């Protein structure tokens, strides 16, 4: 495996020097390539993005000053269909992060047998420091810049960190104005009033919880007697915590970027959501103890859901994790070193490309509905989502047992094999 990985001159830096999400994504791919016995040429093709675009985004601020931001869109692979992936607004966005996220989207879509390839976009911006009007101007200019490479049959963006259904509405409108007619299928995760799907807003959270409950059962843990901690109380973590509580799991701790709260008897998640809506943070929630962000990761709970950002479980803290099951709500929250440590400690880690795939599944449902102009009920969406998630979970368990792999290795091997098969069937052009 090392010889194959070292033979690739990916993005200039030697393998020993690459760190961060892209290094983790490449390491996971290399492990799958070794297990499948693929040749270096196919490895290089699967490791390299098919298309990348970096754009400058000039913004006139509300005070009249001009600022230039940087945006990216990476299309990792489209052997199995049009590219699909979110758009994030974050001050930490850089090209390597977007490359990693696009690759993970390829494997996620393949693992769930959704007919997409993987893509991702991002703008280096802290959306909290900009007005709604400024964010609209940023979104519309970014959309205009990447217009040639997106479309309902090319690449379909969706919300991610720092973006929401309003962002998607602006993107859809900008694309539609350029086309001369309304094109609802160019994005997913848009408002229901503009052709969005019922159930899309909470789909990622719902998928995380379907898998979390199945993983607890797999480990012989009853949900009614289980405890959980959720890192991240945003669009994924907040609803995941609520759905876990409704399923009978006691959520004893949650955190956000400002801090965390803990209550051994279980937190009132609905009251906590109201508190966050009023104050902007979980910090200071009544009838709870303050908790540091790192402290939440090492609490003595049955289930840990890292649902914030990538790289939060690392070699520095993984030795101290006491959860029996880790279900990745965020993309890439566990580094390769932490993954090894947790596996050796007997912790069941359910990888992100399965655990948080609910969003892309319902995005696919939304895309289908938009293209057919036929809308499903909320109950239909929820039932189809649960079926797809649990089918993928059961297949993953079978592959892991048959090939003697961890769940992450089994997931990546399954996904990579499907993408490689599609590529080989299509052939190399010219």
**Partners of 119 in beta bridges:** 75
Helix (H, G, I), strand (E, B) or coil at 251: strand
**Helical spans, DSSP H, in 232-333:** 237-246, 269-279, 293-297
User: Strands 117-124 and 348-350, how do they pair?
Assistant: unpaired
Structure tokens that stand for 11 in this block: 């993005």
DSSP 191-217: -GGGTPPTT-TTHHHHHHHHHHHHHHH
**Partners of 55 in beta bridges:** 71
| Dist CA 229 CA 302 (whole Å) | 8
Q: Using N-to-C axis directions, what is the helix angle for 203-218 and 237-246, rounded to 10°? A: 50
CB 174 within 8 A of CB 83: no
Please give the backbone phi and psi of residue 157, each rounded to the nearest 5 degrees, phi first. -70, 165
User: Strands 51-60 and 348-350, how do they pair?
Assistant: unpaired
Q: Which of 240, 225, 295, 247 is nearest to 272 (CA)?
A: 240
DSSP 95-124: HHHHHHHHHHHHHHHHHTT-S-EEEEEEEE
CB 46 within 8 A of CB 420: yes
Cβ count near 192 (within 10 Å): 15
Helix (H, G, I), strand (E, B) or coil at 49: coil
| Dist CA 213 CA 413 (whole Å) | 24
Catalytic residues, by residue number, are: 120
């Amino acid at each position: 495996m090392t010889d194959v990985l070292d033979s690739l001159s990916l993005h200039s830096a030697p393998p020993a020097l690459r760190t961060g999400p892209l290094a983790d994504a490449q390491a996971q791919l290399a492990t799958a390539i070794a297990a499948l016995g693929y040749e270096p040429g196919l490895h290089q093709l699967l490791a390299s993005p098919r298309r990348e675009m970096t754009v400058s985004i000039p913004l006139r601020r509300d005070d009249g000053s001009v600022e230039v931001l940087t945006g990216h869109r990476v299309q990792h692979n489209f052997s199995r269909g049009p590219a699909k992936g979110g758009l994030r607004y974050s001050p930490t966005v850089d090209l390597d992060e977007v490359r990693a996220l696009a690759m993970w989207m390829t494997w996620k879509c393949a693992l769930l047998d959704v007919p997409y390839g993987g893509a991702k976009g991002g703008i280096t911006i802290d959306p909290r420091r900009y007005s709604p009007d400024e964010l609209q101007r940023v979104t519309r200019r970014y959309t205009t810049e990447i217009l040639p490479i997106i479309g309902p049959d090319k690449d379909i963006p969706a919300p991610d960190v720092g973006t929401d259904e309003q962002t998607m509405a602006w993107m859809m409108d900008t694309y539609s104005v350029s086309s001369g007619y309304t094109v609802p299928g160019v994005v997913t995760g848009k408002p229901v009033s503009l052709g969005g799907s019922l159930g899309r807003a909470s789909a990622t959270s719902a998928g995380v919880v379907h898998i979390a409950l199945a993983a607890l059962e797999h480990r012989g843990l009853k949900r009614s007697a289980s405890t959980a901690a959720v890192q991240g109380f945003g669009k994924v973590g907040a609803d995941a915590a609520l759905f876990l509580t409704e399923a009978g799991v006691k959520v004893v701790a949650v955190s956000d970027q400002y801090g965390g709260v803990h209550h051994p008897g279980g937190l009132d998640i609905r009251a906590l959501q109201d508190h966050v809506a009023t104050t902007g943070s979980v910090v200071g929630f009544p009838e709870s103890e303050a908790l540091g962000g790192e402290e939440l990761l090492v609490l003595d709970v049955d289930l840990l859901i890292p649902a914030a950002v990538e790289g939060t479980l690392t070699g520095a803290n993984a030795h101290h994790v006491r959860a029996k099951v880790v279900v990745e709500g965020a993309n890439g929250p566990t580094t390769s070193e932490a993954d090894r440590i947790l596996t050796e400690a007997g912790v069941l880690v359910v990888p992100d490309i399965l655990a948080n795939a609910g969003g892309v599944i319902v995005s696919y449902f939304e895309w289908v509905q938009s293209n057919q102009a036929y809308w499903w009920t909320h109950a239909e969406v929820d039932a189809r989502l649960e079926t797809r998630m649990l089918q993928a979970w059961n297949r993953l368990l079978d592959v892991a047992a048959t090939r003697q792999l961890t769940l992450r290795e089994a997931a990546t091997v399954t996904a990579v094999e499907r993408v490689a098969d599609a590529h080989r069937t299509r052939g190399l052009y010219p």
